[in-house]
Amino acid sequence: MKRIFTIIAVFAAAVVSFAQPKITPQAKARAAELVSKMTLEEKCTLIHGTRNPGRDSTSDGFHILPIRRLGIPAVRMADGPQGVRNKTNSTYYPCGISLAASWNPKVAEKVGEGIGLDARARGVAIMLCPGVNIYRSPLCGRNFEYYGEDPYLAGETAVGYIKGIQGEGVMATIKHFALNNQEFDRHGASSNADERTINEIYFPAFRKAVEEADVACVMASYNPINGTHATENPWLIKDNLRKWGFEGIVMSDWTATYSALGCFLSGLDLEMPRGYVMNYENAKILLESGVISEKDIDEKCQHILQTVIAYGLFDKDHKDASIPEDYDVSRANALAAAVEGPVMLKNSGVLPIKKSKKTIIVLGPNADMVPFGGGSGKMHPFEYRNITLFAGLSNLGKGYKVQLMDWQNPDYEAIRKAGAVIMAVGYHDKSEGEGHDRTYSLPEGQNELIIKVAETNPNSVVVVYSGGEVDVNPWFDKVGALIMGWYSGQEGGTALAQILSGKVSPSGRLPFTFWGSLEANPVSVNYHISRPYGETHHTRFNNYPFVEYNEGIFVGYRGMEHFGVKPMFPFGYGLTYSEFEYSDLDIQAKPEGFEVSFTLTNKGKVAAAEVAQVYISEVAPEVIKPALELKGYEKVTIEPKKSARVKVFLPNAAFSHYDVASHSWAKDSGVYVVKVGASALDIKLSQSVPVKLK
């Protein structure tokens, strides 16, 4: 075993990693010179992809087109976010919600690094990820790709992921900008929210990606925002995104363009997958009639070229043949991430499953397959790499007797006699994914199975594969344990087996509030379920012209106190195989903010990780504010009976709100309570601090 690891280490070191590329003044000058040499037709070729299957390899709707006369290279892109897809098998990593649930940006960075390596191995220069749309309702079909309900957690996770990808010299694309929080009627329904809500909840992850990770590309979403489609929205692109300092490429989502004039003027740079509206013919008409100028087109070319130049694509072949397509480093990173994502919500003592002569039965629709969310995030791993839950448990070896059972034809006598029964349930591909919203109840037959199994054998464990909350009410009281497994990627079976057997303690925490019912979530009344559900929700436009984000800034746990509601499990919640004690809170004022420190002690018998969360609460705010806002966190692994001193820094900017009158962040001096806890409802330590900001 040792020898294999040594070889891998040497091999990994042989691959050169880059410092994250930057758009330099030289790159800008070189781009400007090229733009000055381009004809109008060439400029109009550069600003859209093309889909003309069979013509050549760049005509697949996933390339920036080459201008050979000027040496401008073709630039290949691929989805995202669970690995590199499009015409290739590749390592399948845990999905976005799993990365957020790990509460560990280093894990997201490892996944990003793996994806960056996989992309280089295939000559992919732009990855169409990460996705950071905020989780409002569990029904959104793409929650699995995203990072949960909290803008701070989403931003931290995104920054780690982007640095991982771009550190390998591959461009990341943050998407879907912005307010694409449902799949239902995603082309037509306008996301209507006020300016403060947009800035405090829906922009921060994007903004952080620009300011802290220097993300190369941004993808504008399908939906209108307050009536204007994202791709045609100068307020979104010019007045916000560019003002944050973004100098990279703004591309449209695939077919998310609706009018030529809107797209030419909005600040959108690149239309994908082809030039439906931003094409030469339309450009000529609009230029002749004087409603656009060539400068509008030059700007787009400038952004595209300066980014492509910065990433070195003019000067070298992007494909790196020294990196294997099925790479040990990528697989190791996928496993490391998969171990940290699952969240244990209930354990009556059945977990961890002890070694025994009794059989462990595994059944359910996802027991012997590697499930994934559907749509453009659907992965195609190498078949031989798929570790199903059954395979993972079987690989535990000595001391574990594992049997797979047909869930549609269960043997209840065998179930009664089993040492434990593990049910792998949830969604897969068509039942949860892009282009449609999903059901809150588990798909057909699953609740019935869980109830009957749990009534037969109390040592029953449910593992849910999903992108968010599901209806657990029919069986929650009956089962022995519940783990949210998300879509944990090709190594998920190994990771879950390690958790179920106690080799590692579960360390994931909920990245969203688990309300316990759709009605309990205050957002639901502002989500489409309050309207009749259309049958044609795949079409571009339905009859629902808008969604009002009436809950405003009170999304998820921010709404608990405001709406006077309590969830079944709060944001940040998750059990481990140990117990932690919090003590000795100390808060030191520094010029740039506050240094919060406290001691964490593992009181249990096994090593485990705690996610210590730091929230703030202003005592008498002048403007209405959520009673709790997450401003920092730290995941720490501690050996049994040992302690660690944890430090979390709260910058001055944490004490602010978005002021609509000045269109900027206002510093809010005042008295705050700093709360340190294990979830949004489990505050262990708190102290009030006077905050005086200049």
- Active site amino acids: 253
Report the Cα 25 to chain-centroid distance in Å: 32
Minimum separation from the CB atom of position 306 to ligand BGC (A): 22
Which is it for the CA torsion 637, 639, 640, 642, positive or negative? negative
Which residue number has the CB closest to ligand BGC? 376
CB of 198 to ligand BGC, least distance (A): 20
CB of 491 to ligand BGC, least distance (A): 24
Tokens of 328: 């040990």
By CB under 6 A, name the binding residues for ligand BGC. Answer: 79-80, 128, 175, 253-254, 376, 434
Query: Is the Cβ–Cβ distance between 628 and 591 less than 8 Å?
Result: no
Q: Is residue 463 within 8 Å of residue 350, measured between CB atoms?
A: no
The least CB distance from residue 252 to ligand BGC, in Å, is 10
Burial of 139 (0-12, 13-18, 19+ CB in 10 A): buried
The residue with tokens 């699953």 is: 446
How far apart CA 653 and CA 2 sit, in angstroms, is 47
CB closer to ligand BGC, 175 vs 274? 175
Q: State both tokens at 524.
A: 């639901």
Amino acid sitting at position 293: S
Cβ neighbors of 519 (< 8 A, separation 6 or more) are none
Residue 222 CB, nearest approach to ligand BGC (Å) = 7
Q: Which of 438, 410, 432 is nearest to 422 (CA)?
A: 410
How far is residue 665's CA from residue 605's CA, in Å, rounded to a whole number?
46
- Minimum Å gap between C-beta 337 and ligand BGC is 20
Nearer of residues 296 and 434 to ligand BGC, judged by Cβ? 434
Beta strands in 412-500 (DSSP E): 420-426, 429-433, 460-465, 481-484
Rounded to whole angstroms, the Cα distance separating 254 from 49 reads: 10
> Closer CB to ligand BGC, residue 174 or residue 353?
174
Rounded distance, CA 445 to CA 438, Å?
Answer: 16
The C-alpha atoms of residue 327 and residue 338 are separated, in whole angstroms, by 17
Smallest gap from Cβ 140 to ligand BGC, in A, equals 13
Contact assessment for residue 407 and residue 362, using Cβ atoms and an 8 Å cutoff? no
Check: CB of residue 130 under 8 Å from CB of residue 115.
no
DSSP classification of residue 198: I
Phi, psi of 214 (to 5 degrees): 55, 50
Q: Which is nearer to ligand BGC, 271 or 491 (CB)?
A: 271
